[in-house]
């Protein structure tokens, strides 16, 4: 089911999505609490949007070697997704993550974000990565800060203030 391991952290394993993983992806994004701060201001993802995003994550990996990957815990259970995608507005690589509600507060997001920021510069010829979170979503903002990203300002997405962050390639 894993399709190979891309990155291993202390407690997580990131793997590319496989066809049979769509129900896991749909269940994650079918949870209104998980979706609350994603796609700020938009409705929860319906099946066509879910299928398009799932296909895009798979295509990104096939084309570039990076994606928003499936995240498994040490026992191999699906706990969420994390990785990179292109931010459509600027073309920059954007760090993103979403975890199942039942694993919130366990430090997975910070653990994986930090590992991904170390990993990406070895696989992509980029000089920086961005990240953003709905401005009022303090937990997600703390993750970006703990992972070493620097706050660059507030910008609206769909009329919702978002806090933007940047991480530069280490010297």
- Asked if pLDDT for residue 160 goes beyond 80, the answer is yes
- Per-residue model confidence (pLDDT) at position 1: 37
- Please give the domain boundaries of the chain with CATH numbers for all domains: 7-127 (3.40.630.30)
**What pLDDT, in 10s, does the model give residues 110-158?**
999 999 999 999 999 999 999 999 999 899 999 999 999 999 999 998 8
Does the pTM exceed 0.85?
yes
Question: Considering only CA atoms, which of 61, 146, 83 is closest in space to residue 110?
Answer: 146
- Residue 161 pairs in a beta bridge with 156
- Tell me which H or E stretch contains 152: strand 150-157
pLDDT in tens, 75-96: 999 999 999 999 999 999 999 9
Query: What does the pLDDT read at residue 158?
Result: 81
């Amino acid at each position: 089911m894993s399709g190979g391991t891309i990155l291993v952290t202390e407690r997580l394993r990131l793997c590319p999505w496989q066809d049979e993983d769509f129900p896991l992806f749909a269940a994650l994004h079918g949870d209104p609490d998980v979706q609350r701060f994603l796609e700020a201001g938009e409705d929860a993802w319906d099946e066509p949007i879910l299928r398009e995003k799932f296909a895009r994550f798979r295509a990104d990996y096939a084309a570039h070697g990076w994606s928003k990957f499936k995240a498994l815990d040490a026992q191999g259970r699906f706990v969420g997704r994390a990785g990179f995608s292109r931010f459509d507005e600027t073309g920059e690589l954007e760090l993103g993550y979403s975890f199942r509600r039942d694993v919130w507060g366990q430090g997975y997001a910070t653990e994986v974000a930090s590992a991904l920021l170390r990993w990406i510069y070895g696989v992509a010829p980029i000089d920086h990565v961005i990240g953003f979170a709905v401005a009022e979503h303090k937990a997600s903002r703390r993750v970006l800060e703990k992972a070493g990203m620097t706050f660059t300002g507030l910008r609206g997405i769909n009329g919702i203030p978002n806090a933007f962050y940047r991480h530069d390639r280490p010297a």
